[in-house]
Amino acid sequence: MKNNEQVVSQIKGSIKNKLPNYTIPSKYIELEEFSINLSGKIDRNELKIILSHLVIKLFMLKRVLRRKSITFGKQYLQVSNFGVTDNLFELGGDSLTAGE
């Protein structure tokens, strides 16, 4: 079985000459199968539900990463009001500290 990157590369290659670049998706989501409605077509309502669940999961992941970044800034840089928009390097951090 081909890995996801190879499949995405093939998809992009096959539609590259048929569509303008700005319409080619930058992100792809692999689904095992599509839900089919009674008329034999892809159930778009079910697809919207699946996509909304994925968006919620991504949002929650971002929140977790933000919290970890803030905790890191407060603990390791000893900056009490550290936020996600603060620059790690300007506050005295370095890539070695960030990797710990």
Q: Which two tokens stand for residue 87?
A: 């620059």
d(CA 85, CA 34): 39
The answer to whether 73 and 65 are in contact (CB under 8 A) is no
> Which pTM value belongs to this model?
0.50
- DSSP reduced 3-state for 42: strand
Structure confidence at residue 89 (pLDDT): 75
Average pLDDT per 10 consecutive residues for the chain, totaling 100 residues: 77 87 82 89 91 89 84 76 75 64
Structure confidence at residue 41 (pLDDT): 94
* CA 47 to chain CA centroid, nearest Å: 18
